[in-house]
Amino acid sequence: MKMISKISKLILGLVFVSSVVSAQSLEDARKAIDAEQYQKAKSMLKNLTVTQATKDENFFYLGWVYVLQDYTDSAKTAFNKGIAVNPKSALNYAGLGVAAFVDKDKATATTNFNQAVTLAGKNTTAYAYVGRGYLMAPVNDRVAPADAEAAIAILNKAKALNAKDVDVLLALGEAYRTQSKNTEALSNYQAALSINPKLASAKVATGVIWKFANNFESSETEFKAALAIDPNYGPAYREWAETDVRWALSDPKMASVKIKEAVDQYRKYLSLTDMSEESQLRYADFLVYAGDWKTLQTVATDLSKTSKNLKVYRYLAYAAYENKDYPTALSAMNTWITKAEPKRVIARDYLYYGRAQIASQQDSLGIASLQQAYQLDTTQADVYSEMAKSFYAQKKYEKAGDAYHMYLTKSRKGTLNDYFRQGFSYYFAYDPSKPNPDTTLLTKADSAFSYVEQKASKPIGDVTLYRARIAEYKDKDRNNIKGLAKPFYEKYITIMTAAPLPDERSKKNMGEAYAYLGAYYEFKEKDEAKATENYTKAKEVDPTNKQALGYFSKKGGAKGK
């Protein structure tokens, strides 16, 4: 789910009526930003930077639009022009800090944020944008707690200076919401609405809180309230669409209805924007959120024919992979990763790149890409599960076992099946034909199987069988048999005889268990009666069992016929 990226980059970009503006035309531009009509806003602001070239605010808001569109280099150019016009422009220093923060240059961001606050004095507008800046570089769609706390700290300072700055109140509400501190978030949204009841953006932000609390009816109420204030307020339709998708995913009974509604709401949103390339890219974001990969591939393919924004190839790669169009996915992701600025490539990109490479039988490259995904974002521990499966398919069993170990150690999603696969991998990594086989592999395998045995709600035959086989590896000398595998094979027999044997594989495994017991009584206990009894059972359940056949052949075929 996209928990923050759209909110931090779009809702946080909403411009509120409290800030001081120098002319109605700038106010119109800010209203266009608020409505996410970015092309319209840019056109107006570019004109203002010419006709009112001495006003640093014009350059700031132009740069802010570029930030929202993820064009940080263009944003920095605009902010620097604003500083050239007014070297004491707190807003433009705040903008430079935001652009640096988005580019993951936190040292430069901090320097510029501090300068903005110093120059701002008691004017809280710059504080508001510094606070927003801290929220605009989420990892895995979540704002880091430290970044959110930094935002909350600076915004509370601004609130102390001016408790009626709705821009500050709304940004503070969003900062709290990113950390699921919904009571504090709602308090600030309500404070903003008490000052200006016509803030459609505050109603939308309140609806977003209810969305993530899965209180979808309350979300809809807030979005409708926003549209009652302004029937053409596009962001309300966008958030309503995403709420419908979340509702559909949470309630299968409502899925078909809510997905249809989501599409309708998003079409309304697009009709209220400027239908620019950026609008289409936001539509692509929505399709990712909705998991509509077929439509996304169509949209991304069309955009790739005309757009100069390389981000199109990210969408195309994601969609093509999910649609099992691996050649297209591989080509698109290769274009994105090799041509985009490195700072724009995220862990998820390498995750999809690795998956596409593995699906295209480029396993070594795929594993390297998955490792890169983990290096960029250590919360992506699930990549180790995918690496393990690839290693196993290549019969690199020890590496598969190690990858499962890393997955189970670092991820919270590991299941008993993953422990079983780990044991299975280490078991097959053990090669008894080597002069000095690595017995630690058997220990690792047995540890994994033992964990499954302890945690499973009921006995699992295969787990006990492999523990028996591991023990038997240590018991190969028939002239000095220790019987290490005996309790495991006996337990396996008990488990499997509780019901009719389901298939030929189970019958062969049961024959293996009885044959081991036959050998135990033959060589360890020297009890021919017990040996014959177990070899007989082995032959009955699996007439092809070589140990049983060999035993009776040695006895002249007199027994067990």
Write out pLDDT tens, residues 313-353.
999 999 999 999 999 999 999 999 999 988 889 999 999 99
Q: How confident is the model at residue 21 (pLDDT cuts 50, 70, 90)?
A: very low
DSSP 439-493: THHHHHHHHHHHHHHHHSSS--HHHHHHHHHHHHHTT--GGG---TTHHHHHHHH
Residue 554 contacts residue 528 (beta carbons within 8 Å): no
Residue 412 in domain: no
Same domain, 149 and 184: yes
Same domain, 151 and 216: no
Q: How confident is the model at residue 357 (pLDDT cuts 50, 70, 90)?
A: very high
pLDDT at 10 over 70: no
Residue 328 in domain: no
pLDDT at 13: 39
Alpha carbons 233 and 344: distance in angstroms, whole number: 30
Query: Which of the listed residues 196, 216, 250 is the one where a domain comes to its end?
Result: 196
Same domain, 105 and 131: yes
Q: What is the mean pLDDT of the chain?
A: 90
pLDDT at 275: 74
Write out pLDDT tens, residues 416-451.
999 999 999 999 999 998 888 999 999 999 999 999
Same domain, 95 and 230: no
466's tokens = 């492999």
Same domain, 103 and 219: no
pLDDT at 374: 93
pLDDT at 299: 92
Please name the residue that has the structure tokens 């593995």: 358
Write down the pTM of the prediction: 0.69
Residue 142 β-bridge partners: 139
Q: How confident is the model at residue 4 (pLDDT cuts 50, 70, 90)?
A: very low
Alpha carbons 94 and 105: distance in angstroms, whole number: 14
Same domain, 531 and 548: yes
Alpha carbons 366 and 387: distance in angstroms, whole number: 8
Same domain, 174 and 117: yes
In this prediction, residues 41-49 reach a mean pLDDT of 95
Residue 98 in domain: yes
Q: How confident is the model at residue 14 (pLDDT cuts 50, 70, 90)?
A: very low
Which uninterrupted H or E stretch holds 549?
A: helix 546-554
pLDDT at 22 over 80: no
Residue 243 in domain: yes
Ramachandran bin of 381, using left for φ above 0, alpha for ψ from -120 to 50, beta for the remaining angles: alpha
Sign, CA dihedral 237-239-242-244, equals: negative
Q: Count up the domains in the chain and report the number.
A: 3
185: which DSSP letter? H
Angle at 181 between CA 180 and CA 184, to 5 degrees: 145
pLDDT at 477: 64
Assign residue 260 the CATH number of its domain.
Answer: 1.25.40
pLDDT at 98 over 80: yes
Query: Which of the listed residues 196, 229, 244 is the one where a domain comes to its end?
Result: 196
Residue 447 in domain: no
Residue 10 in domain: yes
Alpha carbons 239 and 221: distance in angstroms, whole number: 12
Alpha carbons 297 and 331: distance in angstroms, whole number: 13
Same domain, 37 and 153: yes
Residue 445 in domain: no
Write out pLDDT tens, residues 256-299.
899 889 989 998 998 898 777 777 888 888 888 888 899 999 99
Same domain, 230 and 97: no
In this prediction, residues 6-32 reach a mean pLDDT of 52
Query: Which of the listed residues 132, 161, 196 is the one where a domain comes to its end?
Result: 196
Residue 174 contacts residue 133 (beta carbons within 8 Å): no
pLDDT at 290: 81
Assign residue 482 the CATH number of its domain.
Answer: 1.25.40.10
Residue 230 in domain: yes
pLDDT at 522 over 70: yes
pLDDT at 3: 31
Same domain, 146 and 265: no
pLDDT at 379: 86
Same domain, 227 and 105: no
Question: 537 lies in which domain range?
Answer: 462-561
Same domain, 57 and 85: yes
In this prediction, residues 7-15 reach a mean pLDDT of 34
Quick count: other Cβ atoms within 10 Å of Cβ 510?
Answer: 24
User: φ, ψ for residue 37 (rounded to 5)?
Assistant: -100, 75
